[in-house]
Amino acid sequence: MIHITKSQLAELISHALREDPVECCGFLIGTEGRTSSVRSTRNIKSDSQSRFEMDESEWKQVLIEAEASGEGAVAVYHSHTNTQAYPSVTDVEIAVKNGWAGYRHVVISLAEKTHPVVRVFMITADGEVNEEVIQTD
């Protein structure tokens, strides 16, 4: 289970809408599954509308800053501008390649623009995808 407040969910959705039709990305920072802040990052694959890639030095810096304040990444997030809120085959490959397996992955779907959907998944090192429950405030 992951804890994301309603205002943090709204922040994720507004980030996704702001970048649409490009995918947005970033981290949920916090401790023990409880989100304290949303930290957006740049999508260096912004020329593509169906994938995302974070700049490696930028995402490493985000994690260093989080650790310096006794926190860590609760989840990695990105948006799907035209597809459902479920990790794609590429998402799973990238998660495993970047060492983000074992992290929660939040996917924000804008497939229905007036009805964004946010879901959370744990991706294992074997590429297994398991949905988690989001608890709001």
Residue 40 binds Zn ion (CB under 5 A)? no
Q: How many residues bind Zn ion (CB under 5 A)?
A: 2
Rounded to an integer, what is the distance from CA 116 to the centroid of its chain? 14
Task: From 11-19, 27-35, 87-95, 112-120, give the range in contact with Zn ion by CB under 5 A.
Answer: 87-95
Q: Which residue is nearest to Zn ion (CB)?
A: 91
Task: From 8-16, 89-97, 108-116, 129-137, give the range in contact with Zn ion by CB under 5 A.
Answer: 89-97
Supply angle C-alpha 84, 85, 87, rounded to 5. 100
Residue 71 binds Zn ion (CB under 5 A)? no
State the chain's maximal CA–CA distance in angstroms.
38
Q: Write the CA distances from 33 to 62, 66, 109, integer angstroms.
A: 17, 14, 21
Nearest to 51 by CA among 27, 9, 75, 82: 82
Task: From 7-15, 35-43, 55-63, 91-99, give the range in contact with Zn ion by CB under 5 A.
Answer: 91-99
Residue 91 binds Zn ion (CB under 5 A)? yes
CB of 50 to Zn ion, least distance (A): 8
**Among the listed residues 14, 36, 88, 98, the single contact to Zn ion using CB under 5 A:** 88
Cβ atoms of 93 and 33 closer than 8 Å: no
Cα Rg of the chain (Å, integer): 14
- Binding residues for Zn ion (CB under 5 A): 88, 91
